[in-house]
Structure 1
Amino acid sequence: MITSFISLVDLFPAAVLSGIIMAVTCAVFGVFVLLRRVVFISIALTECAACGIAAAALLNLPPFLGALLCCLVAVAALAHDWEQQRIPRDAVLGTIFVAAAALSVLLVARSGMGLLEIKARLYGDLILASWADCLLLAIVHLPLLLCVIVLLKAILYSFLDGNAARLMRIPVRTVEFCFFVALGLVVSAASKSGGSMLVFCYLAVVPATALMLSKRLAIVLPLAAVIAVAATLIGLTCSFHYDLPGNQCIIMAATALFIALPTIAAAARLAQRFAVAPDRINTPTD
């Protein structure tokens, strides 16, 4: 397996680097998505990105441009204050999701592409990422990741304690809107190579694993990034070694870590308790 990993890096360096950039950025953004309890937004945006890519293929436009326009339209619709309306935001998200999913299939059906090309367009294939894809991810993802780190305090207070944020003169609605615009950009850039399923996995499964392992944000953010990179490298290596689809291997690796890491952590805490308990029993009392 180590030989397969070395061969993977040697033959597909652009795919490995693209996966690492995508994994780190999406995992960090996903932590805030989970903290805000708006997981459905991430899957709606990933499906909108797939719809935009399908529309771009039909119109002979760059895939990133189509994904970006569709994601920004969805973000603009979600920016409305739905709490004052008769229907909840989740209903709007569900409508956007099913509409984008259906429209993407209809668009690629009209494009005249074959089944394999349709699957590649809608679901992506990270192993086929080029240096151009890697450059796009670096240009879009890395500045946005830096912005999130710099504005960490403002985002955290806006998402978790709006009243305290307002007392600190933080524009809560503006911060939330800017974050979701940035999320739309991240999803748009990642969807061409990653596809909707893999991007959603990075945004939901990986941060959930990190949040189960720790409650401290200073630990959760780097931990989520490490878990995402580990799942990416394991998945790509298994894909190369066993000749399997890369994205699905990464998703299964992330799912395995989601199950294994909290289980190991819980077993370690339980073993520590049992190790401490006999010491307390045998300790002499005055």
Structure 2
Amino acid sequence: MTHVVLVLTPGVHLLDLAGPAQVFSTAAGLGRPYRLSYVGERERIDSAQGLPVQAQTEWPGDLGPDDLLVVPGWRCPRGMLPPPFSQQTLARLAAHHAAGGTVAGVCSGAQALGEAGLLDGRRCTTHHELQDELARRFPRAKVVRDVLFTADDRVITSAGIASGIDLSLHLLAVRHGPAQAAQVARSMVVYTRRNGDEPQASAVLRYRSHLDDTVHRVQDLIDARFTEPLTLDHLAAAAGVSARTLTRVFTRATGGLTPLRYQQTLRLERAEHLIAHGTTTETAAHQVGFTDPRMLRRLRSRTPG
């Protein structure tokens, strides 16, 4: 069971909080082992939008490396002010990361991570109105602009508001594969669109920075069923275009990948994850949809690293 703890402060933005909460609660409803807790330094948390939120003041006592701490953003009417967290709360964030856990900040939540010492030397981002101040306040941080989120050594930050959903879907894709993230996204009636500018991001992220709705629909289908045989004609019919048109727009949107190559990339990435966790090449090949393990070996031999 993975524990997701949302760390709340007065003035919290509701969507910064609700986006990640909805993603992980939806995943739990689909059978994934997630439970959510909401902690704060007071029981009543008045949100920026006026709706009060109930929090628990006692932290869960059984947090481990697989668990996740998320700091939603709060209203910053005059730019970034010192985060309204005590040193004890900031120390908890730092200690969880030091113990191997993942810590995430949505919008101005990145500042809490900075005050906890987690942004030094790492890529990070925040809402575009706060990026200059984040860079000024934490000069050792590598502030990345014009991206939805960043991930660097189990420190995850997002641009704010709705991008907390993208951050959370990314974490699902990393932990459970793109099909799970796509299933949750479809349940929430959102695309599994992610930032495509991160050099270490997964294939689902690298090829999702375009704005072509037809290609996004096809990618949603491939993400959900990448282990199955998917013909070009089937994908084109699902998108309501010809096979020739799909190949043309898909290649243009993804920077050169055909739908088949995109599917192979997802299979290869998932297979590498399985192999890294002790699965044999033959078993991994079959689990990701290759009928012949030699195909997986050929793809691995062509991929640097």
Does TM-score exceed 0.5, indicating one fold? no
Shorter-chain TM-score tier: under 0.3
Provide TM-score, normalisation by structure 1. 0.27
| Structure with more of its chain in strand, by fraction | 2
| Structure with more of its chain in helix, by fraction | 1
